[in-house]
């Protein structure tokens, strides 16, 4: 179909209606063909070397799945409408006395409040220490790191995701990454442990209204010479925030304090 004219380009574009690609959002999300524990509000497959973003209501559960075994989801969280309150990886590690993420861990802001809780994890291969890849590093390793290249860096993809939510590059703190693990040796060196394989998944529960940014790019310590990153499935559904009686609430003294800080903040704003 010729696209040299405006009419030809229009007809070509309209002819694509209803077609699907391997990696794309499902719109509306409620048309997602699989099963979920609640009404689906976000359903998307993110290709390797791409990004996505969404604002999620408090209580929403978000499941990330490494479909083919080489996804790496670099995640940033912000309290919606309060971009200065955002994921703080240092506090997430320090407050919980643990550098390794998994079910039962909390993702904390710099204000000591819970942004999200990790309710399930079948991977165990995550990283809260290294952050995401950069333009300079990707250019050195792969020859390019710009967003439009075949080897975009994580930070370069998180920039447009941030801009589409009213955030600037200065609002990008160090991110967490899921599905590609790192372990710390006795001497302080870092070992890249790779993935747990296809189908590994992690589920997060939003404890406040959140702006979510995700870049699916290779981990910065991945030793493979080729830019290797496979699709990531993103699925979110309506649920409820952590409530009294949930074992997660009282799992540790530090976690309980973070939940109390969160509840106090929300109560002052009239949110129960």
Residue 9 within a domain: no
Work out the burial of residue 223: count CB atoms within 10 Å of its CB; fewer than 13 is exposed, 13-18 middle, 19 or more buried. exposed
The per-residue pLDDT of the chain, averaged, comes to 94
Residue 124 within a domain: yes
Structure tokens, 115:
């942004």
What's the pLDDT at 1?
58
d(CA 272, CA 266): 7
DSSP string, 248-261: GGGSSHHHHHHHHH
Residue 43 within a domain: no
The pTM (predicted TM-score) of the whole model is 0.95
Please check the confidence at residue 245 and state whether its pLDDT lies above 80. yes
Boundaries of domain holding 107:
48-268
d(CA 151, CA 142): 7
Residue 175 within a domain: yes
Q: CB–CB of 46/231 below 8 Å?
A: yes
pLDDT tens by residue, 18-71: 777 778 899 999 999 998 999 999 999 999 999 999 999 999 999 999 999 999
d(CA 48, CA 150): 10
DSSP string, 35-49: --SS-EEEEEEEPTT
Indicate the Cα dihedral angle 144, 43, 54, 268, nearest 10°.
Answer: -150
Residue 98 within a domain: yes
Please report the beta strands in the chain, taking only residues with DSSP state E, as ranges in sequence order: 40-46, 50-56, 61-66, 73-79, 82-86, 106-108, 114-121, 126-127, 176-178, 181-184, 190-194, 200-206, 210-216, 232-237
Residue 40 within a domain: no
d(CA 2, CA 51): 31
pLDDT tens by residue, 147-202: 999 999 999 999 999 999 999 999 999 999 999 999 999 998 999 999 999 999 99
Domain count along the chain: 1
Residue 207 within a domain: yes
d(CA 220, CA 218): 6
Residue 252 within a domain: yes
């Amino acid at each position: 179909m010729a696209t040299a004219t405006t009419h030809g380009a229009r007809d070509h574009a309209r002819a694509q209606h209803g077609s699907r690609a391997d990696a794309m959002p499902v719109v509306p999300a409620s048309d997602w063909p699989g099963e979920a524990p609640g009404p689906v509000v976000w359903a998307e497959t993110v290709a390797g070397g791409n990004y996505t973003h969404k604002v999620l209501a408090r209580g929403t559960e978000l499941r990330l799945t490494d479909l083919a075994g080489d996804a790496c989801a670099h995640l940033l969280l912000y309290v919606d409408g309060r971009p200065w309150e955002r994921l703080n990886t240092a506090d997430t590690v320090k407050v919980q006395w643990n550098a390794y993420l998994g079910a039962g861990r909390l993702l904390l802001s710099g204000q000591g409040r819970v942004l999200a809780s990790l309710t399930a994890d079948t991977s165990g291969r995550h990283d809260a220490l290294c952050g995401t890849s950069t333009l300079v590093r990707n250019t050195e390793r792969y020859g390019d790191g710009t967003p439009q290249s075949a080897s975009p860096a994580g930070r370069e993809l998180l920039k447009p995701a941030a801009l589409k939510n009213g955030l600037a590059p200065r609002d990008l703190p160090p991110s967490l990454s899921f599905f590609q693990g790192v372990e710390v040796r006795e001497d302080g060196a870092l070992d890249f442990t790779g993935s747990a394989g296809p189908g590994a998944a992690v589920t997060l529960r939003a404890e406040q209204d959140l702006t979510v940014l995700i870049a699916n790019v290779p981990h910065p310590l991945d030793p493979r010479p080729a830019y290797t990153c496979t699709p990531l499935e993103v699925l979110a559904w309506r649920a409820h925030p952590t409530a009294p009686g949930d074992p997660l609430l009282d799992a540790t003294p530090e976690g309980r304090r973070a939940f109390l800080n969160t509840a106090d903040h929300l109560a002052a704003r009239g949110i129960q």
